[in-house]
Structure 1
Amino acid sequence: MKSKISLLTLGTEDIKRAAVFYKALGFVVHGEEDEDHVMFKAEGTWLALYSKDLYEKEMGIAPTGEFSGVVMAHNVGSKEGVDEVMEEARAAGGKIVKEAYETYWGGYAGYFQDPDGHVWSAAWNPFTDLT
């Protein structure tokens, strides 16, 4: 297997609400939107929104808990960039989990949740360019 993540799919209770949130963050829809899924082409990968109900039917397990242990990151080139992403998330209706702060490892990061509770990190890493 190649060490590559080609698609990240987020289960959602409300496809339309989630799509509005991600469009407000600058994601562009690829193809047709419907009540069960939406696809976005991102730089170097894909993001999909998929009905939690359909996932449960397909896999036989239901998503549970407030935090799944998974955090997606949007890395930027500066502290100011982190602040901008956090404001975009807030304006789009995201819930700020933790305002941007100086991290213990020397970076700068903040955390927000999308309307379905998926956690995102907006981060600047002064040691490794992850942008």
Structure 2
Amino acid sequence: MIIALPIADRRVSHVFYRDGLGLEPFGEPADDGVPEPLQFRLAPEVSMMLVPTGGFGWVIGGREVAGRGTSECVLTLPAATPSEVDDMVARAVAAGAEVVTAPAQQPWGYTGTFTDPDGHLWQVTA
């Protein structure tokens, strides 16, 4: 399974997901040093592909790409402990994330939510 998300800037997204979330890109680097296509493995059978907005529009048949601040889904990353949630959110913020909900105990677990540089929502839950 591949999850595709539209992005504005390949380099910014590459650094954010590599340094902020600790994900390793895979694939052959393009002239800019960033793998093309820009992909990260999320699980053994799941990867995420980040597609520049212009190309993403082509993939979705010319449909409108949701603007920043319009959320169509929330992507959730598992964490083993509340401190791991805190650490992951802090690393994401240091790499350019914006906190939506600070890490805190909720009825479903300890969780925090942030946006990536393109406004996609990410939740970390222990």
Q: TM-score, length-normalised on structure 2?
A: 0.84
CA shift, 1:106, in A, is 4.3
Q: Corresponding residue for 2:70?
A: 67
- Measure the CA separation in 2 of the matches of 1:106 and 1:43: 22
Contact 1:30 1:40 in 2 (8 A): yes
**Letter paired with 1:8:** I
Mapping 1:79-90, distance limit 5 Å: 79-90=82-93
Q: Indicate how the Cα distance of structure 1 residues 90 and 70 shifts in structure 2: closer, same or farther if over 3 A, else same.
A: same
- The runs of at least 4 aligned residues of structure 1 exceeding 4 Å deviation read none
1:32 to 28, 34, 37: 28
The RMSD of aligned alpha carbons is 1.7
Q: Number of residues paired by the alignment?
A: 118
Task: Give the greater-gyration-radius structure (CA).
Answer: 1
Query: Retained in 2: the 8 A contact 1:37–1:51?
Result: no
> 1:3 corresponds to which residue?
none
State the identity as a percent.
Answer: 27
Q: Work out whether residues 27 and 37 of structure 2, in 8 Å CA contact, stay in contact via their aligned partners in 1.
A: no
Structure 2 residue corresponding to 1:22, chosen from 4, 12, 17: 17
The range that moved more, 49-58 or 81-90, is: 49-58
Q: Map Cα deviations across residues 25-72 of structure 1 (whole Å, 9 max, x no partner).
A: 211121124477311223322111111111213321121241223000
**Does 2:73 correspond to 1:78?**
no
Where structure 2 has 5 or more consecutive residues not aligned to the other structure, the ranges are none
Give 1:115 deviation, angstroms. Answer: 0.3
Q: Report the secondary structure of 1:61's partner residue.
A: coil
For residues 3 and 51 of structure 2, the distance between their equivalents in structure 1, rounded to whole angstroms, comes to 10
Q: Which position in structure 1 is the counterpart of 2:103?
A: 100
State the distance in 2 between where 1:41 and 1:64 align.
24
CA contact (8 A) 1:33 1:39 kept: no
Paired residue type of 2:120? H
